[in-house]
Structure 1
Amino acid sequence: MSDLYAYGILIVSAFLSATLLPGSSEAVLVSLLAAGQGQPAFLVGAASFGNVAGAVVNWLLGRFFSHYGDRAWFPIASESAARARLRFLRYGSWSLLLSWVPVIGDPLTLVAGLLRVGFWRFLLLVSAGKALRYLVILSAWQKWPAS
């Protein structure tokens, strides 16, 4: 597999993982690292880019499509949105640093759109949190003893 193909797979996986769809970009990243596909820094960059792009989709859904929140096809249940909204109101936009956390992260990014958090602030905080997560995974993988 070419490195470009590996980066593309990782971007798509990370994007889907961040858009309320099931996915595991972490497993894809570690698999590519273990297979020696791509440069580690570029893999982290690709994963971060895809994951942040997916979070931006959630923000856009919250910002421009919130009036459809009661519809069955809307990608987040109203209970999840309510919990994320309470957490967001309690901790403010700094809670977006936790947008990488499974289960709560995706609703947080949608709620940021609902609450009209400024796009650049959103992008900065989400990018920092998500990139840090992938850097920690890379660091752990590099320190893991080879078998």
Structure 2
Amino acid sequence: MAALAIYGGLFVSAFLAATVLPVSSEVVLAGLVAAGRGDPALLFTVATIGNTLGSVMNWIMGRGIDTLQTKRWFPITREQYEHASRTFRRFGAWTLLFAWLPVVGDAFTVAAGAARVHFGLFVVLVALGKAARYAVIIAGGLWAIA
């Protein structure tokens, strides 16, 4: 049951952190690594999958951006979306490697959905960027406790 709480909690925090909600999965992951709770490889995998799936939700929202952007509850401002869209148009799908960045990363994933980026390419690029970030966090955590 403890393992479910560790990995399930990490998955939920990673998923929510990738959506437009203000959640920090990095703090949760670093805390688990520093406390020696969980297998680092499994923590890496769970965090990467959860965070990537959260970005998939953003991609789906991007597909309906015209309808969603007028909703009061939609957390990406028009300015954030326009900035991300300009950057996305300039650099293309490669911006998805930076989907892990605070604020603008979420907007990149929404812009990718609006631009109808191929889903497979989206998942690969987003997962690579997020995996690299989590690998650095875990390596830093392991180094800190060594």
Q: TM-score, normalised on structure 1?
A: 0.94
2:90 aligned partner: 90
Secondary structure of 1:143's counterpart equals helix
Q: Is the 8 A contact 2:88 2:111 kept in 1?
A: yes
Unaligned 5+ residue runs, structure 2? none
**Divergent runs of 4+, >6 A:** none
1:112 paired with 2:112, answer: yes
By how many angstroms is 1:3 displaced? Answer: 1.9
By how many angstroms is 1:70 displaced? Answer: 1.9
2:125 aligned partner: 125
Secondary structure of 1:20's counterpart equals coil
Q: Is the 8 A contact 1:30 1:141 kept in 2?
A: yes
Q: How many residues align?
A: 146
Q: Deviations over 1:1-60 (max 9, x none)?
A: 712210000000011111110111001001111222110000011111110011000000
By how many angstroms is 1:145 displaced? Answer: 5.3
Instruction: Give the distance between the partners of 1:145 and 1:46, measured in 2 at CA.
Output: 21
Aligned-pair Cα RMSD in Å: 1.3
- Report the residue type matching 2:140 in the other structure: A
Q: Is the 8 A contact 2:26 2:134 kept in 1?
A: yes
